[in-house]
Structure 1
Amino acid sequence: MFQDITLEQLRALQDRKQMTIIDVRSPSEYRDSTIPGSLNIPLFDDAERAEVGTLYKQTSVQAAKDRGLELVSAKLPVFIRQFAEIPGDKTVFCWRGGMRSRTTATLLSLMDIHVNRLTGGYKAYRKWVMESLESYNFKPHSYIIHGNTGTGKTALLHRLQRNSYPVIDLEGIAGHRGSIFGQVGLQANNQKTFDSLLLEKLITLEHSPYVLFEAESMRIGKAVMPPFMGRQKETGTQLWIEMPLESRVAQIMKDYRPEEHQEELLTAFRRIKSRIHVPVAAEIDRSLVAGNFENAVLLLLEHYYDPKYDYTSLLYGESEKVTFKVNHLDEAEAAVTNWLRERHPESSSRGNWKLQV
């Protein structure tokens, strides 16, 4: 028979050995939110779930069970084989630890495939995430990366992360770059997914002496940061990247690849067009339509983003501030890396960074 385990037991098992977590809910439920790292092997697809649910509500529980059994029986060999092909220990879950995960675990047990079943399902996991973030005690010191649009803040954090520095990539977690153009070429995560990914990252970095993250607004795309992250942003050490305008234009062209997303960019720009001086806004629009993206970016920086950022910089008056004047992203990486090594000589070797994260 299968074994029911709590979320606490599941996390302990994950720390000790290989554990594959399998979400047996429908594909749309899985896409909406799931336990990070889990696979999706649905007992019912979206249409089947809707059909069974309608029978449950409008006919009877027994009618829903009978139809569910018919649907599962038809695809049982393929369903079982998907689980059999996954090596190591496995834990299944559904919405709240009910019929779908129980049916899956029972069927697998009959075929001598042992799995655990998560008590309370995804609902229990979501409750744990919310309670954990609400009471989270953030211990590492925060270094906050600032800079005008185009200074490559996100790219800088990605480089640092690849070299095992303790980084929280808030934009990556949100699936959004945090601006009116932030979703271009990306898929924004909802609040539930953002919360889950953020908490898992925080737990990974909880023993680091410090963390680095970008100075984001409280809302990033579809998600809102928890209040303690806002406090860290305000009280941490502020690292400011200053870079020439032409270098910033080049960095934006590289990051956004506007030639691949012309219509998305036009749609996004026209949402803010009324906030820009009319002749300038008209020229930006013409440039985007004509594919003259560099000129459009230049004008947006000069007439929209830079004035906004100049105002934002006044909000961190009492925090420690360190400024790095660089010409391009490579120089920014070298400058920040050298500064961190001087600040934290006990962790200056790459091997020690890996121990921290």
Structure 2
Amino acid sequence: MLQNITIEALRSMKEKKKLTLIDVRSPSEFNTATIPNSINIPFFNDEERAEVGTLYKQKSPEIAKEHGLKIMSAKLPDFVKSFSNTDGEKIVFCWRGGMRSKTTATVLDLMGIEVYRLDGGYRSYRNWVVNTIENLNWDTKAVVLNGHTGSGKTTILRRLAKLNYPVIDLEGMANHRGSIFGQIGLQPHNQKTFDALLIEQIESIKQTPFMLIEGESKRVGRVILPNFLLKKKTEGTQFIIELPIEERTAEIIKEYEPWKYKESCLEAFKRIKKRIHTPIAKKIETELKAGHYELAVMLLLKYYYDPLYDYTTKQIPDEKKIRIKAKNISEAYQLLKEQIDNHYYAK
């Protein structure tokens, strides 16, 4: 039997059952923004959707529907089979709960495949995300990781997340490393995707007494952090990770693999070149072109990133700073973990 489900009922179901969320919009729509952990089984591909949309506008809705039916009829067996291969309760949705999800749910129901259809489609989910962010009542305190570029803050957070510590990985959610070079080798997320990932993570840890977060600026790549999160970051416990510049240089080279993205690195550097003393900037550019990445990165840290960080850190009151001085990232991780365990988990 064909069943509709509201976004509120969906949230409740997620806590109790294994669900498979299925976005039947075109691949480009899916890649732009979707409900986290959804899979894409498109009703129309991008070209087909464009054809139907053009007919709808230039001819008539009836002609567009007839053409859409013709397209769908030819690939219906494979389309239905794709749903048969999914597990758990099936929830289908399109943009606003219209023709694509309704037709999909009806066909699947006729084939004996039980499925729910999300009322309002992706738009209802997006509205829920926006409303939740705007009205969030969250008492959890922030534990903030600060440190010079290359101090392994994201690496440490992800190691803690694997041990189920309450982590909000802002760079992971933005798919950006938070610097002028931060998108190299990545495809940064847009605001809609970031907001969805953020609120889903908050929902999963909102009952914990604290959460771990990196001391990012207001913008991370293409996204803007919400004001409530910036406020929590400012008011939170501030850990300062201090590592030797040699360790930080090695970490950056390991993470960015600049030899794979030589031209992208040079293009990114041009955007900050004027902010660095001319002889030093020329030296950095020369070393980047020559593939001498260790020296180039060390100069970037010393003459650009470290001064920026030092200025930002001065804004944090000394009484709120807890310094973690270590020889390498592994030692910093252990020292930080001990501090957290002693402060938040000790009985």
Q: TM-score, normalised by structure 1?
A: 0.95
CA distance in structure 2 between the partners assigned to 1:16 and 1:307 by the alignment: 50
Shift of 1:274: 1.1
Q: Establish whether residue 34 from structure 1 lines up as the match of residue 70 from structure 2.
A: no
Shift of 1:166: 1.1
Match in the other structure for 2:200: 200
Instruction: Please give the per-residue CA displacement for 1:213-246, whole angstroms capped at 9, x wherever unaligned.
Output: 1000111111111100100111101000011111
Shift of 1:12: 1.2
Match in the other structure for 2:222: 222
Whether the 8 Å CA contact 1:184–1:264 is kept in 2: the answer is yes
One-letter amino acid of the structure 2 residue matched with residue 315 of structure 1: Q
Match in the other structure for 1:146: 146
Q: Call closer, same or farther: CA 1:118–1:318 in 2, change over 3 Å.
A: farther
CA distance in structure 2 between the partners assigned to 1:318 and 1:100 by the alignment: 57
Whether the 8 Å CA contact 2:19–2:87 is kept in 1: the answer is no
CA distance in structure 2 between the partners assigned to 1:93 and 1:346 by the alignment: 45
Q: Call closer, same or farther: CA 1:111–1:209 in 2, change over 3 Å.
A: same
CA distance in structure 1 between the partners assigned to 2:131 and 2:166 by the alignment: 24
Shift of 1:91: 0.7
* Matched position secondary structure for 2:171: helix
CA distance in structure 1 between the partners assigned to 2:142 and 2:259 by the alignment: 36
The correspondence of residues 226-305 of structure 1 with structure 2, limited to 5 A, is 226-305=226-305
One-letter amino acid of the structure 2 residue matched with residue 146 of structure 1: N
Instruction: Please give the per-residue CA displacement for 1:173-222, whole angstroms capped at 9, x wherever unaligned.
Output: 00001110110111100000000000000001101111111000111111
CA distance in structure 2 between the partners assigned to 1:116 and 1:263 by the alignment: 48
Whether the 8 Å CA contact 1:234–1:319 is kept in 2: the answer is no
Whether the 8 Å CA contact 1:22–1:38 is kept in 2: the answer is yes
The correspondence of residues 75-90 of structure 1 with structure 2, limited to 5 A, is 75-90=75-90
Shift of 1:87: 2.4
Query: Which consecutive unaligned segments of at least 5 residues does structure 2 have?
Result: none
Match in the other structure for 1:322: 322
CA distance in structure 2 between the partners assigned to 1:138 and 1:88 by the alignment: 31
CA distance in structure 1 between the partners assigned to 2:243 and 2:19 by the alignment: 46
Instruction: Please give the per-residue CA displacement for 1:79-113, whole angstroms capped at 9, x wherever unaligned.
Output: 01001111221010000000000010011111111
Whether the 8 Å CA contact 1:237–1:319 is kept in 2: the answer is no
Instruction: Please give the per-residue CA displacement for 1:236-293, whole angstroms capped at 9, x wherever unaligned.
Output: 0100001111111111111111122211111101111111111111110110110000
Instruction: Please give the per-residue CA displacement for 1:52-79, whole angstroms capped at 9, x wherever unaligned.
Output: 0111111111001100100000100100
Q: Establish whether residue 189 from structure 1 lines up as the match of residue 189 from structure 2.
A: yes
One-letter amino acid of the structure 2 residue matched with residue 317 of structure 1: P
Q: Establish whether residue 127 from structure 1 lines up as the match of residue 127 from structure 2.
A: yes
Whether the 8 Å CA contact 2:169–2:214 is kept in 1: the answer is yes
Match in the other structure for 1:96: 96
Whether the 8 Å CA contact 2:24–2:101 is kept in 1: the answer is yes
Instruction: Please give the per-residue CA displacement for 1:114-156, whole angstroms capped at 9, x wherever unaligned.
Output: 1100000000000000010011122211110000111111111
One-letter amino acid of the structure 1 residue matched with residue 320 of structure 2: E
CA distance in structure 1 between the partners assigned to 2:305 and 2:336 by the alignment: 24
CA distance in structure 1 between the partners assigned to 2:184 and 2:154 by the alignment: 15
* Matched position secondary structure for 1:44: coil
Q: Which range is displaced more, 280-289 or 7-16?
A: 7-16
CA distance in structure 1 between the partners assigned to 2:319 and 2:202 by the alignment: 23
Q: TM-score, normalised by structure 2?
A: 0.98
CA distance in structure 2 between the partners assigned to 1:15 and 1:218 by the alignment: 32
Q: Which runs of 4+ in 1 moved over 4 A?
A: none
Shift of 1:319: 6.3
One-letter amino acid of the structure 2 residue matched with residue 123 of structure 1: R
Q: Which range is displaced more, 134-143 or 314-323?
A: 314-323
CA distance in structure 2 between the partners assigned to 1:342 and 1:86 by the alignment: 44
The number of residue pairs the alignment matches comes to 347
One-letter amino acid of the structure 1 residue matched with residue 31 of structure 2: R
One-letter amino acid of the structure 2 residue matched with residue 303 of structure 1: Y
* Matched position secondary structure for 1:117: strand
* Matched position secondary structure for 1:143: strand
* Matched position secondary structure for 1:316: coil
Whether the 8 Å CA contact 2:243–2:328 is kept in 1: the answer is yes
CA distance in structure 2 between the partners assigned to 1:248 and 1:305 by the alignment: 12
Match in the other structure for 1:351: none
